[in-house]
Amino acid sequence: TYQMPQDFVMRKAEQVRREGYALLRRSELPELAHHLRGGTLADVEVETCRIEEAAPAAGKTLAELALRPRTGASIIALTRAGVTESNPSDKTKLVAGDIVVLLGSRDEIRRAMEFILTDQPDR
């Protein structure tokens, strides 16, 4: 599905998990993370995705990206230069190096990451 070697995908997924959990521990979102991990919202997951320079999402606003209508996942926070903004505005423009925090089902997050990285959500 990713048209990339499986070991590359697995390494990237592990990197995202490591960055995501560290991000949630040091961000302004510990209470939300606690409830999500504690099963309050059992079908909901939180993951992170780093915006790379070559990513189609780089340079687009959240409104232009229209992630939720396209994938079902939502961007609930964004970290830029070590500063986390929860519930970023739809006018926020993504730049290389940003880390977005995604909220959704496992499948929605998978589609969102695919869309952010390739501009082609795998439905």
CATH number of the structural domain spanning residue 59: 3.30.70.1450
Residue 36: inside a domain, yes or no?
Answer: yes
Give residue 82's pLDDT: 86
CB 46 within 8 A of CB 108: no
Closest CA to 77 of 15, 28, 116: 28
Residues 34 and 13: their CA atoms lie apart, in Å, by: 21
Task: State the residue range of the domain holding 67.
Answer: 6-118
Tens of pLDDT, residue by residue over 51-105, are 999 999 999 999 999 999 999 999 999 999 989 999 999 999 999 999 999 999 9
Residue 1: inside a domain, yes or no?
Answer: no
Residues 52 and 45: their CA atoms lie apart, in Å, by: 22
